[in-house]
Amino acid sequence: MRRAGLAGEIVGTARTPATRAIAREDGLCDRVTDTAAEAVIGADLVVLCVPVGAMGALAAEIAPHLAPGATVTDVGSVKRSVIDAVAPHLPDSVHFVPAHPLAGTEHSGPRSGFAELFDNRWCLLVPVPGTDASATARLRALWEGMGSNVDEMDADHHDLVLAVTSHAPHLIAYTMVGVADDLRRVTDSEVIKYSAAGFRDFTRIAASDPTMWRDVFLNNREATLEILGRFTEELFALQRAIRTGDGDHLHAYFTRTRAIRRGIIEAGQDTDAPDFGRGTRKISAAPGAAPDPAAAHRQG
């Protein structure tokens, strides 16, 4: 927001004094308040950035202090439960436009943000029925100004799509790293020492914030269970193909999945792939350019 000069004054707050001290020290905001209630006074836009399970309580805390005409939005990874938890607390005089930027890293906390985080990433807006169209349009312009591509989606559809593309993959990564850790007790340090690239990618994802992800699964229960059910069926089918030596099944399956990956790259939608960039913006590709901060975060 600051990079593009999109806000007159940025006011921030956080639950712990330690986080607020870092925000002040690093100049993350123009003003840091001790409470959320103080932070929202007179604000045109209020962005809720806490774990999805904490959104309802935060909405209740700020509601009496919101300025009439303000827009309230959030960045939660789940949308239906956030809408159900937040909307009942908000007065009719404010606009509520839930949102979800599809951008992040395994890091969290005040020093994990960086100006390029949202460049060329999707941000999904999930306006509730009856939302003032001009509030949604203003929020769209804000996210576009921060470098994102914006789409609108219904909350239930959002939660199902994200269960496939983000939530179930995280659970699988957590499980795989847990299995390897159990195995490590048998094989000593070999799991870490000979970690191949695929497993290392799992460990990056599995290093994500435990509170955030606990809340994601507790709040997107049905969609995640639906996708995990399908995942388990496919896994069993592949397991059987291995046991019975059904190479045709394995080959056909892997051929299908390779085509999906190639489709993503050809559509220019994998911002991490080395050949990303056809027809889309890349964060920092020029030789000698400053290191890509997103890549630095990804490497952890």
Ligand X SMILES: O=C(O)C(=O)C[C@]1(C(=O)O)C=C[C@@H](O)C=C1
Ligand Y SMILES: NC(=O)c1ccc[n+]([C@@H]2O[C@H](COP(=O)([O-])OP(=O)(O)OC[C@H]3O[C@@H](n4cnc5c(N)ncnc54)[C@H](O)[C@@H]3O)[C@@H](O)[C@H]2O)c1
Q: What residues line the site for ligand Y (CB under 6 A)?
A: 14-16, 19, 49-52, 54, 58, 75-77, 101, 104, 108-109, 112, 209, 212, 216
Per CB under 6 A, the list member of 38, 106, 201, 226 interacting with ligand X is 106
Choose between 36 and 135: whose C-beta lies nearer to ligand Y: 36
Beta strand ranges found along 1-136 (DSSP E): 11-13, 31-33, 45-48, 71-74, 95-96, 99-101, 122-125
Least CB distance from residue 269 to ligand Y, whole Å? 17
Cα Rg of the chain (Å, integer)? 21
Pick the closer one to ligand X by CB: 74 or 94.
74
DSSP-derived secondary structure for 104-149? --S--STTS--TTTTTT-EEEE-PPTT--HHHHHHHHHHHHHTT-E
Contact partner, 166, from ligand X, ligand Y, none, Cβ < 5-8 Å per class: ligand X
Return d(Cα 133, Cα 154) in angstroms, integer. Answer: 15
- Contact between 102 and ligand X per CB under 6 A: yes
Indicate whether 127 belongs to the interface with ligand X (CB under 6 A).
no
Binds 52: which of ligand Y, ligand X, none (CB < 5-8 Å by kind):
ligand Y
Q: Is 73 in the site for ligand X (CB under 6 A)?
A: no
For the bound state, the minimum distance from the C-beta of residue 73 to ligand X, rounded and expressed in Å, comes to 15
> From residue 171 to residue 210, what is the string marking binding to ligand X with x (rule CB under 6 A)?
----------------------------------x-----
* 51, 55, 58, 64 alpha-carbon torsion, rounded to 10°: 160
Minimum distance from residue 115 beta carbon to ligand X (Å): 17
3-state secondary structure of 33: strand
Strands 122-125 and 99-101: antiparallel
Look at strands 71-74 and 95-96 and give their pairing.
parallel
Q: By CB under 6 A, how many residues form the interface with ligand X?
A: 8
